[in-house]
Amino acid sequence: MSTQLVVFALGKEEYGIDVSAVNGILRAKKFTITNVPGTPKVIEGMINVRGKVNYVLNLHSKFGREPNEETEENKIIMLNVGDANTCCIVDEVTDIVKLEDDNIELAPLFLSGINSKYIQGIGQIGERMIIILNPAEILTFEEYSAIDSKAG
């Protein structure tokens, strides 16, 4: 079996999300992100895409990283996850790759707590290491509840 991933950069690290969970890739500069008061810090805000409200997660905040400066390369990845229209803002989308199962290792056992939920594994392509995310777990229950309470 193989897995096809949308690969994106956050700083110098590469991350991947299964292509079946991606609903679209947008240029961040084309959208104004509106802040939503009372939501967790990882929720950057919301954007209007095709008449629907989409909540934007800041993966830099989610992973405890310092944010990079906004550039022309910043992208918004739209996700097919749960009931919320969820997006992630990333530094840039770098690739779409196909990985065979023998090139994917399960998430290391030393990861514990909340981090272990959203990391599915580590993919290898030559010298490249790609951290594979579980899109269904990127948004925690608390974050989803905060979005749900604002939407309802």
Instruction: For 30-81, write each residue's pLDDT tens digit.
Output: 999 999 888 888 888 999 998 988 889 988 888 888 777 777 889 999 998 7
**Which residues are CB-neighbours of 150 under 8 A, at least 6 positions away?**
36, 38, 39
Per-residue confidence band for 91, with pLDDT thresholds at 50, 70 and 90: very high
Do the Cβ atoms of 24 and 5 come closer than 8 Å? no
- Record: fold of 2-151: OB fold (Dihydrolipoamide Acetyltransferase, E2P) (2.40.50)
Rg (alpha carbons) of the chain, rounded to whole number = 15
Cα 30 from Cα 10, distance rounded (Å): 20
Bridging pattern class, strands 2-10 and 86-90:
unpaired
Structure tokens at 128: 């490249």
- Taking the C-alpha atoms of residue 139 and residue 119, their distance in angstroms, rounded to an integer, is 12
Tell me if residue 54 falls in helix, strand or coil: strand
Query: Tens of pLDDT along 95-127?
Result: 999 999 999 988 776 655 545 678 889 999 999
Task: Record the pTM.
Answer: 0.84
